[in-house]
């Protein structure tokens, strides 16, 4: 076979001359070399010129053109000679240094010789002649420089083919190198760092390509790189610089996992080992890094490295909160991207919601709030979300905030599906507004802010059409439970209260500006009023002192523009769009003139802006009531709720509402009447008073239900100059009163409202009505009432009460309403009228509800009579000092003991009413001591609720400007109550009913039971600031005696010494200092009188009345057990003992708390139900209530093991929906 003719290089010129001449020659040479084919050239003809090209005068020439053309010529020669080269190793080192320098210019695509730089790059990468560098000895430095140069040269704006060539060039080096220098590995890995990733994305992509294409080659080097660093983590302390390096390394692992996970083949096990190290920082870094890596969308790590996955899961229980926190925060992306892993993560997620550390609980709630709708629907269990609902009432505000925010966001995401009726969404998310609104029961101003924000911004956002916003409100309201609806009412009330305060604030600011010019003398008085209203506003905000300061500063910047925009926010006649604009304008203006006040005004503007209840919403609701069968009922209820809070916005809709009532078939009559009644209470002169309206209202008295008759009566009684009609109604009812009448309950309801709203009409027949109620209704029983309930029943649901029982309760209400109404019109007549009412109520209490002559009252009726008698006494004395004075100390003690009634609903109803009135600052401070008797409440729910109320009350008093020692003096009243408690009577006095101070027969159990009351008070109301004062007050009790000679003063001294001991005991673990109190304290005069200066008083003050046997037992017990401030001590004693028999009421079907269950406040459930009796008896699992014990005065409280859904304590009257008091 004839060999083909080889082509020889024609170029024979010397590479010398000027730069221009040399450049011309090189261009000519490069053109010829470029045209030659590798297999058809006579390489010997190239050898002479090859040597000239590497001459220093060429490769080091100052002209860029000369150098790049020379480089391209050399690259062509390497191509033609491949796989050999016409150069020595020394020459090749010169060449590759030369190439490195020239290739750096590839970064400039606009350069003069860019095409030649690209030619050089393409030639080296395509022919792979760059591989020659890997065969050179001691050429690592050149190789490193070349690799670094390429990473520096690559740019995002470069054409794709340039980046491909660079990638191929580096790939060739990596693949061909027998051993990669560490600096090259470092350079490649450095590109994965976050800062490099974003400063030069092209270099990052180049590193990713190398990691993907050269996985097998790089794995060993990557593993060694991390091993060298991570292996130093065990058993030593690190300097700050070293820790920063460790953080960088872990970030690098995360980035490599995202781009080229295969490179980390042997690195993951090293991270697993880090999870087990003692160093918290390293453990945290490993937990965080693996969490991110597991969450990668394409990640298969949980299955590829099962042991690592399991080790990471265990970090949820790490002893260090920081690690648990990192674990929790990793769950967001992990569950979103890998829903299949949710099953393994659910348990940990639920555990962290109740983690002991508040940061973990808050973070877990935040994580759950960051899930999208699909994730939270399909991969998060409802039980987990329910736990978040419980956290809305967490003791720690940070947790409450995140929980409330999480639920509001999840509900908002799910609302479109809820509105469409998707059952899965309704079940999973529909309850969330209730859980959020339950948080108002925490009774904390900061939590109120979180709830308000959720309600106004997320649950019911102020955007969209009026119809869509109304439908959203109706949909959510329909799903609210009773507490949720009360919570919404609280939000609306707070909004209106803030709105009223802001209106006064603005008005005073206007007066201030006017007085500066017109009445300088009155400016000081206005300034004082401004200070007072600022305090009212600030007290309802978080950090009152700071808010007050900011509002005072705002006064200086207030102007007409702000006055108008803030006023517009409160204008109920404006559209939501206009209100929102006014709010934005206000906040924008505040931000520009007083930035520090922006946060305060954001809360205020949110509260005062009527975006939920305004004229637009009202019109839509009325349309629903009139025309929509689907939404009529809920819309009517909403109208009723709104009317109780914001009746003034109904002015423009009264005619429409009244016209609806004319239709006898109108299904929404009850709610519409309620709405009209609420409006009439506030604006009687605006009520429609035409003949047709009166006739329609009177028809409801004759043919309507109890509810309808009640509301219609309020409207009729409120109409001005309508006394004649009201008197005729009262007279007609008075004439037909009969205990056997089917209309008795309705007639008494009408009389109750007439007595309250039109007393002048009621007084015309008051004698007959009062006589009937006392003589024929309350103190007499009809024969059939005895058998209305089975003998074993002692309580039924309010809706199951018979008409006769409801009539008796309503009869009491008539008497009470009359006494209250008369007090403002005729105080002397009122007190005369109130005496028989008080006498009747006290008789009910002292006779345990049995006041009938026949002595055959059924247990259910007696329970309801006891409850309502106590609550009516509280109602009479609320804000009425004239009636408060009519309650003696002895009667007060009897009322206090009602809070330990055998039936849970009775005692819960009484204590809840006391808390409500005290919160409203309407009840005498002495009733605060009654709540301490809940210390032995068998029900955890009731015990915890009262303690939380007391704690919040104590905190509010701490920040009050006017401290009246209300909380501290309560201890004196508590000890007075305990001293007169029938269960703390000395044994002889208990048996013989003898109250002698000479008797000293208190057992250790007696003292233990009293101890729990004092501990309960200290847990709720004592703190480092007031403990010295409390101790001083307690010690002062040994300088006084009881004002009444019938009271056991010796008991007081025993309790004083006991309280002093317990206070000192509490101070020790808390490191509280018991300093001498410098001030003076005046004990309640009605309870105590001074002993004076005598030998007896000195003897009493020195003597320790506390049993030393009890002290020794206490100290021994304290040494042996850990501190536990939980449920009452497990004593089978008198106070708090369970009943011997269970109730068989229709609703006693559920199960109670299990033993040892811990609630959200850390208090242990007392399933044993410690009531009060002489002997310890086991409580039946289904026991709800109990009969009175046969031995008196020892009392007992029964736990309700079966908790009915209905709150019995809110005793309603028949269908009326009205509270019995």
Q: Residues 719-734: pLDDT tens digits? A: 988 899 999 999 999 9
Terminal C-alpha separation, the chain: 123
ω before 864 within 30° of 0 (cis)? no
| Cα 147 to chain centroid, rounded | 56
Instruction: Return d(Cα 480, Cα 430) in angstroms, integer.
Output: 9
The per-residue pLDDT for 1128 is 36
Cα-Cα-Cα-Cα dihedral sign, residues 87, 88, 94, 96? positive
Name the strand (E) or helix (H) holding 71.
helix 64-81
Cα-Cα-Cα-Cα dihedral sign, residues 114, 117, 123, 128? negative
The per-residue pLDDT for 287 is 95
The per-residue pLDDT for 1038 is 92
Instruction: Return d(Cα 301, Cα 293) in angstroms, integer.
Output: 8
Band (pLDDT 50/70/90 cuts) for residue 1001 is low
* pLDDT over 80 (residue 1138): no
Of 689 and 130, the one with more pLDDT: 130
Report, as an integer, the average pLDDT of 442-456: 92
Listed residue (1040, 886, 1065, 910) closest to 972, CA to CA: 1040
* pLDDT over 60 (residue 989): no
Instruction: Return d(Cα 869, Cα 881) in angstroms, integer.
Output: 19
Listed residue (345, 355, 422) closest to 388, CA to CA: 355
pLDDT, tens digit (0-9, with 9 covering 90-100), for 141-154: 999 999 999 999 99
| pTM for the whole structure | 0.75
The per-residue pLDDT for 824 is 87
The per-residue pLDDT for 664 is 65
The per-residue pLDDT for 613 is 83
Instruction: Return d(Cα 296, Cα 727) in angstroms, integer.
Output: 80
Instruction: Return d(Cα 914, Cα 945) in angstroms, integer.
Output: 13
The per-residue pLDDT for 1123 is 44
* pLDDT over 80 (residue 76): yes
Alpha-carbon torsion angle 426, 431, 436, 440, nearest 10? 150
CA–CA distances in Å: residue 1062 to residues 573, 685, 796, 1025, 1081: 59, 60, 41, 17, 21
Instruction: Give the position of tokens 């939980």.
Output: 1126
Of 1218 and 63, the one with more pLDDT: 63
Instruction: Return d(Cα 109, Cα 230) in angstroms, integer.
Output: 42
* pLDDT over 70 (residue 1141): no
pLDDT, tens digit (0-9, with 9 covering 90-100), for 805-842: 999 999 999 999 999 999 988 888 899 999 999 999 99
* Burial group, residue 120, by CB count within 10 angstroms (0-12, 13-18, 19+): buried
Instruction: Return d(Cα 639, Cα 473) in angstroms, integer.
Output: 12
pLDDT, tens digit (0-9, with 9 covering 90-100), for 1179-1215: 333 333 333 333 333 445 555 443 333 332 232 323 3
Listed residue (209, 227, 153, 150) closest to 184, CA to CA: 150
Q: Would you state the structure tokens that stand for residue 499, as one six-digit string? A: 């709105």
Task: Catalogue the E-assigned strands of 710-855.
Answer: none
Q: Would you state the structure tokens that stand for residue 677, as one six-digit string? A: 């009644």
Three-state secondary-structure class, residue 522? helix
Instruction: Return d(Cα 681, Cα 711) in angstroms, integer.
Output: 10
Listed residue (954, 879, 870) closest to 912, CA to CA: 870
For residue 1164, the 8-state DSSP code is B
The angle that helices 114-127 and 64-81 make with each other, rounded to 10 degrees, is: 20
* pLDDT over 50 (residue 1054): yes
**Cβ atoms 79, 125 nearer than 8 A:** no
**Cβ atoms 610, 648 nearer than 8 A:** no
Band (pLDDT 50/70/90 cuts) for residue 1080 is confident
Q: Phi then psi for 477, rounded to 5 degrees?
A: -65, -35
Report, as an integer, the average pLDDT of 994-1018: 78
Report, as an integer, the average pLDDT of 985-990: 61
For residue 778, the 8-state DSSP code is I
Q: For the chain, what is the radius of gyration of the CA atoms?
A: 43
**Cβ atoms 715, 722 nearer than 8 A:** no
For residue 597, the 8-state DSSP code is G
Three-state secondary-structure class, residue 1040? strand
Instruction: Return d(Cα 58, Cα 16) in angstroms, integer.
Output: 9
From its phi and psi, is residue 1183 left (phi > 0), alpha (psi between -120 and 50) or beta? beta
Instruction: Give the position of tokens 């790189």.
Output: 225
The per-residue pLDDT for 565 is 94
Of 53 and 1144, the one with more pLDDT: 53
* pLDDT over 90 (residue 382): yes
Instruction: Return d(Cα 376, Cα 354) in angstroms, integer.
Output: 19
* pLDDT over 60 (residue 1124): no
Instruction: Return d(Cα 502, Cα 608) in angstroms, integer.
Output: 8
Listed residue (1127, 1140, 1138, 1034) closest to 1077, CA to CA: 1034
Instruction: Return d(Cα 401, Cα 362) in angstroms, integer.
Output: 8
For residue 17, the 8-state DSSP code is S
Round the average pLDDT of the chain to a whole number and report it: 85
Of 319 and 689, the one with more pLDDT: 319
Q: Phi then psi for 1137, rounded to 5 degrees?
A: -90, 145
Listed residue (196, 187, 207, 289) closest to 246, CA to CA: 289
DSSP secondary structure of 863-877: HHHHHHHHHHHHHHH
pLDDT, tens digit (0-9, with 9 covering 90-100), for 224-270: 888 887 777 665 566 677 788 888 888 889 989 988 888 888 889 99
Instruction: Return d(Cα 394, Cα 361) in angstroms, integer.
Output: 9
Band (pLDDT 50/70/90 cuts) for residue 10 is confident
* Burial group, residue 1139, by CB count within 10 angstroms (0-12, 13-18, 19+): buried
- Convert 913-962 into a string of H (helix), E (strand) and C (coil): HHHHHHHCCCCCHHHHHHHHHHHHCCCHHHHHHHHHHHHHHHHHHHCCCC
* Burial group, residue 452, by CB count within 10 angstroms (0-12, 13-18, 19+): buried
Three-state secondary-structure class, residue 1089? strand
Q: What is the largest CA-CA distance in the chain?
A: 145
Band (pLDDT 50/70/90 cuts) for residue 18 is very high
| Cα 131 to chain centroid, rounded | 65
Q: What percentage of residues in the chain have a pLDDT greater than 90?
A: 57
Instruction: Return d(Cα 1036, Cα 965) in angstroms, integer.
Output: 15
**Cβ atoms 568, 592 nearer than 8 A:** no
pLDDT, tens digit (0-9, with 9 covering 90-100), for 486-521: 999 999 999 999 999 999 999 999 888 877 666 666
Band (pLDDT 50/70/90 cuts) for residue 1150 is very low
Of 612 and 663, the one with more pLDDT: 612
Q: Which of 570-579, 653-662, 923-932 has the lowest mean pLDDT?
A: 653-662
Instruction: Return d(Cα 342, Cα 64) in angstroms, integer.
Output: 62
* pLDDT over 90 (residue 1136): no
Instruction: Return d(Cα 1170, Cα 1071) in angstroms, integer.
Output: 32
Q: Per DSSP, what are the bridge partners of residue 1088?
A: 1042
- Convert 95-143 into a string of H (helix), E (strand) and C (coil): HHHHHHHHHHHHHCCCCCCHHHHHHHHHHHHHHCHHHHHHHCCCCHHHH
Cα-Cα-Cα-Cα dihedral sign, residues 96, 102, 108, 113? negative
ω before 103 within 30° of 0 (cis)? no
Instruction: Return d(Cα 106, Cα 162) in angstroms, integer.
Output: 8
**Cβ atoms 414, 374 nearer than 8 A:** no
The per-residue pLDDT for 317 is 93
The per-residue pLDDT for 321 is 95
Of 1078 and 988, the one with more pLDDT: 1078
């Amino acid at each position: 076979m004839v060999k083909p003719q080889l082509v020889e290089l024609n170029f024979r010129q010397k590479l010398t001359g000027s730069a221009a001449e040399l450049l011309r020659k090189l261009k000519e040479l490069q053109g010829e070399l470029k045209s030659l084919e590798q297999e058809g050239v006579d390489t010997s003809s190239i050898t002479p010129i090859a040597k000239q090209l590497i001459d220093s005068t060429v490769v080091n020439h100052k002209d860029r053109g000369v150098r790049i053309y020379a480089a391209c010529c050399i690259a062509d020669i390497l191509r033609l000679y491949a796989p050999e080269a016409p150069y020595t190793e020394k020459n090749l080192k010169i060449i590759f240094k030369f190439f490195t320098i020239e290739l750096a210019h590839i970064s400039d695509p606009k350069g003069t010789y860019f095409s030649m730089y690209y030619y050089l790059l393409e030639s080296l990468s395509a022919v792979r002649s760059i591989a020659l560098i890997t065969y050179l000895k001691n050429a690592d430095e050149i190789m490193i420089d070349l690799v670094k140069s390429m990473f520096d040269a690559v740019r995002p704006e470069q054409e794709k083919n340039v980046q491909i060539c660079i990638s191929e060039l580096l790939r060739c080096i990596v693949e061909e190198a027998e051993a990669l220098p560490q600096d090259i590995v470092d350079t490649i890995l450095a590109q994965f760092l976050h800062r490099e990733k974003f400063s030069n994305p092209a270099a990052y992509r180049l590193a990713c390509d190398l990691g993907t294409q050269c996985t097998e080659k790089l794995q060993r080097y990557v593993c060694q790189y991390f091993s060298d660093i991570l292996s130093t983590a065990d058993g030593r302390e690190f300097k700050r610089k070293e820790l920063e390096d460790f953080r960088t390394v872990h970030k690098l692992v995360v980035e490599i996992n995202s781009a080229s996970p295969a490179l980390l083949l042997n690195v993951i096990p090293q991270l697993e080992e880090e999870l087990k190290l003692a160093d918290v920082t390293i453990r945290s870094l490993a937990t965080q890094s693996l969490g991110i890596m597991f969450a990668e969308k394409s990640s298969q790590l949980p299955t590829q490295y099962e042991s690592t996955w399991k080790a990471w899961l265990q970090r949820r229980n790490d002893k260090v909160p920081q690690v648990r926190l990192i674990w929790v925060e990793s769950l967001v992306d992990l569950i979103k991207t890998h829903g299949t892993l949710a099953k393994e993560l659910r348990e940990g997620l639920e555990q962290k919601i109740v983690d002991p550390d508040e940061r973990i609980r808050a973070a877990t709630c935040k994580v759950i709030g960051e899930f999208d709708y699909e994730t939270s629907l399909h991969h998060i269990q409802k039980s987990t979300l329910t736990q978040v609902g419980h956290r809305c009432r967490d003791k720690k505000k940070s947790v409450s905030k995140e929980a409330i925010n999480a639920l509001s966001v999840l509900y908002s995401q799910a609302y479109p599906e809820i509105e469409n009726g998707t059952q899965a969404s309704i079940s999973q998310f529909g309850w969330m507004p209730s859980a959020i609104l339950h948080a108002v029961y925490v009774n904390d101003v900061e939590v109120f802010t979180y709830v308000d924000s959720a309600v106004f911004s997320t649950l019911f956002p102020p955007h969209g059409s009026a119809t869509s916003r109304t439908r959203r409100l109706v949909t959510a309201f329909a799903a609210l439970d009773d507490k949720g609806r009360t919570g919404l009412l609280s939000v609306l009330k707070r909004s209106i209260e803030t709105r009223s305060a802001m209106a006064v604030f603005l008005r005073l600011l206007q007066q201030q500006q006017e007085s500066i010019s017109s009445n300088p003398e009155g400016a000081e008085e206005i300034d004082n009023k401004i200070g007072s209203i600022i305090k009212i506003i600030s007290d309802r905000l978080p950090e009152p002192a700071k808010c007050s300061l900011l509002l005072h500063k705002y006064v200086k910047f207030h102007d007409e523009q702000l006055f108008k925009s803030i006023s517009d926010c409160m204008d109920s006649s404006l559209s939501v769009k206009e209100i929102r604009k006014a709010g934005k304008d206000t906040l924008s203006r505040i931000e520009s003139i007083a930035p520090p006040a922006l946060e305060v005004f954001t809360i205020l503007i949110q509260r005062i802006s009527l975006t939920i209840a305004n004229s637009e919403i009202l019109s839509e609701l009325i349309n629903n009531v009139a025309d929509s069968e689907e939404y009529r009922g809920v819309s009517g209820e909403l109208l009723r709720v709104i009317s109780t809070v914001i009746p003034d916005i109904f002015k423009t809709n009264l005619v429409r509402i009244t016209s609806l009532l004319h239709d006898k078939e109108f299904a929404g009559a009850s709610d519409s009447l309620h709405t009209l009644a609420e409006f009439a209470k506030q604006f009687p002169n605006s009520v429609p008073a035409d003949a047709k309206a009166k006739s329609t209202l009177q028809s409801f008295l004759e043919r309507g239900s109890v509810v309808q008759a009640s509301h219609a009566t309020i409207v009729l009684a409120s109409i001005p100059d309508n006394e004649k009609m009201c008197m005729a109604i009262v007279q007609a009812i008075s004439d037909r009163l009969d205990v056997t009448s089917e209309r008795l309950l309705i007639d008494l309801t009408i009389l109750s409202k007439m007595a309250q709203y039109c007393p002048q009409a009621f007084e015309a027949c008051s004698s007959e009505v009062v006589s009937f109620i006392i003589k024929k209704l309350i103190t007499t029983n009809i024969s059939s009432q005895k058998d209305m309930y089975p003998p074993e029943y002692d309580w039924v649901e309010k809706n199951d009460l018979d008409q006769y029982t409801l009539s008796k309760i309503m009869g009491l209400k008539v008497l009470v309403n009359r006494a209250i109404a008369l007090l403002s019109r005729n105080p002397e007549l009122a007190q005369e009228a109130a005496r028989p009412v008080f006498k009747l109520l006290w008789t009910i209490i002292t006779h345990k509800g049995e006041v009938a002559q026949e002595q055959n009252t059924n247990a259910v009726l007696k329970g309801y009579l006891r409850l309502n008698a106590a609550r009516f006494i509280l109602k009479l004395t609320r804000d009425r000092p004239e009636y408060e004075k009519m309650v003696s100390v002895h009667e007060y003690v009897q009322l206090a003991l009602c809070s330990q009634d055998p039936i849970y609903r009775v005692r819960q109803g009484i204590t809840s009413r006391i808390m409500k009135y005290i919160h409203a600052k309407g009840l005498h401070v002495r009733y605060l001591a009654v709540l301490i008797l809940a210390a032995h409440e068998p029900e955890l729910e009731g015990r915890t609720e009262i303690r939380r109320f007391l704690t919040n009350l104590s905190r509010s008093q701490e920040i009050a400007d006017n401290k009246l020692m209300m909380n501290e003096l309560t201890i004196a009243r508590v000890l007075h109550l305990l001293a007169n408690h029938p269960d703390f009577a000395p044994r002889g006095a208990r048996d013989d009913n003898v109250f002698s101070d000479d008797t000293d027969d208190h057992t250790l159990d007696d003292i233990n039971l009293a101890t729990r009351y004092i501990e309960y008070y200290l847990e709720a109301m004592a703190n480092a600031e007031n403990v010295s004062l409390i101790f001083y007050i307690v010690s002062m009790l040994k300088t006084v005696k009881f004002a009444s000679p019938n009271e056991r003063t010796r008991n007081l001294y025993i309790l004083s010494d006991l309280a002093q001991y317990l206070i000192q005991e509490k101070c020790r673990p808390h490191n509280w200092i018991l300093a001498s109190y410098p001030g003076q304290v005046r004990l309640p005069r009605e309870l105590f009188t001074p002993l004076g200066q005598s030998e007896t008083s000195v003897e009493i003050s020195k003597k320790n009345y506390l049993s030393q046997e009890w002290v020794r037992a206490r100290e021994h017990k304290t040494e042996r057990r850990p501190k536990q401030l939980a449920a009452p001590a497990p004593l089978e004693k008198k106070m708090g003992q369970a009943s011997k028999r269970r109730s068989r009421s229709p609703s006693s079907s559920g199960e109670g708390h299990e033993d040892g269950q811990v609630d959200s406040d850390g208090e242990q459930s007392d399933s044993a139900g410690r009531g009060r009796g002489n002997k310890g008896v086991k409580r039946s699992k289904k026991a709800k209530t109990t009969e009175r014990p046969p031995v008196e005065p020892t009392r007992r409280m029964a736990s309700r093991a079966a908790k009915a859904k209905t709150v019995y304590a809110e005793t309603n009257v028949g269908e009326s929906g009205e509270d019995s008091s």
